[in-house]
Amino acid sequence: MTSLEVLLSNLEDFQPKLLVLSGLHMMEGLSQEERTSRLQEAASALSDVPSDILIHLELASMTDGDMMRGIIYQVFPLISSLGLNEQELLFLTQSANGPHSTLSAWPAVPDVGVVSDILLWILQGSGSEASGLTRVHFHTLAYHIIATIDGFWENQVAAVAAGARVAGTQACASETIDPARVMLKSPLEFSTSQMETGYTARISAKEPVAVWRNGGVTFHFTPVLICKEPIRTVGLGDAISAEGLLFSESKTQ
């Protein structure tokens, strides 16, 4: 909280267009009372951020459902963008009884339709009364999806591709993708939803990004060229989300 307070107290000095936050999961080590108090303090501080500054939150693995629900209902309404992986996505929907919450674990490659259903639910409010979220960047080993509420973000084809590319280059500790050092595990054909009538999307070397819409939300999907013998994995999720944000364009600024 001290770091967050210092950061927010200096907003006028450096006048950012975007804040990238992480570390809320570290509150799990506190007592229930301390955690509740700290989370309320964080939400209060974020509510004072000027509305023209976008806020991206990068989630991390948690095991406490009360903590996750607190983030959903107190923090999500105050942020614009969210980054998370498959473990965090599943725990999020389990904690708030969202879509596919009875799923105990993912298969080796998470089903794209199931992931899309949960992302749609998050952007439609996650069961809370209101949410400021308009963008979610989901990343798993085999593929990435960026889902955005229509009318808020542009250039998401480039953003999702950039995030997937940096996943391969950073893991291999290389500046470019070396075909001999990577492999593909992503499905090339998949259903876009498992809860309602969707359609079958396809990707290819010529069209590596699939795009579809559902309920006022646009989804951008692309495979990841996975490093066969990874060298750098620490901070990979942060690098992925940061690269995607770098290429994202907000229509509200």
Using one digit for the tens of pLDDT, what is the confidence trace for 200-232? 999 999 999 999 999 899 999 999 999 999 998
Task: State how far the Cα of 100 lies from the Cα of 94, in Å rounded to an integer.
Answer: 8
Q: Which pLDDT belongs to residue 12?
A: 72
Instruction: Please give the order of strands across the beta sheet that includes 217-223.
Output: 18-22, 54-58, 81-84, 135-139, 143-149, 217-223, 210-214
Max Cα separation, the chain?
54
- CA 162 to chain CA centroid, Å, is 14
Whether residue 36 contacts residue 70, with contact meaning beta carbons closer than 8 Å, is answered with: yes
- CA 79 to chain CA centroid, Å, is 12
Q: How many CB atoms lie within 10 A of CB 133?
A: 27
Digit-coded pLDDT (tens) for 17-33: 888 888 888 888 788 88
Whether residue 224 contacts residue 183, with contact meaning beta carbons closer than 8 Å, is answered with: no
Q: Which pLDDT belongs to residue 185?
A: 96
Q: Is residue 64 flagged as an active site residue?
A: no
CA angle 163, 126, 66 (to 5 degrees): 100
Q: Which pLDDT belongs to residue 14?
A: 76
- Global pTM reads 0.93
Q: Which pLDDT belongs to residue 127?
A: 52
Task: State how far the Cα of 43 lies from the Cα of 4, in Å rounded to an integer.
Answer: 11
Task: State how far the Cα of 223 lies from the Cα of 249, in Å rounded to an integer.
Answer: 22
Write phi, then psi, for 182 (nearest 5 degrees).
Answer: -125, 165
Active-site annotation holder among 64, 111, 178, 238: 238
Contact residues for 172 (Cβ-Cβ < 8 A; gap 6+): 178, 181, 182, 227, 229, 230, 231, 232
Q: Which pLDDT belongs to residue 126?
A: 64
Task: State how far the Cα of 15 lies from the Cα of 183, in Å rounded to an integer.
Answer: 42
Helices marked H in the chain — which ranges? Answer: 2-9, 11-14, 32-47, 65-70, 86-95, 112-123, 156-172, 236-247
Task: State how far the Cα of 93 lies from the Cα of 195, in Å rounded to an integer.
Answer: 14
Q: Which residues of the chain have pLDDT under 70?
A: 1-5, 126-131, 252-253
Whether residue 132 contacts residue 78, with contact meaning beta carbons closer than 8 Å, is answered with: yes
Q: Which pLDDT belongs to residue 1?
A: 52
Q: Which pLDDT belongs to residue 131?
A: 65
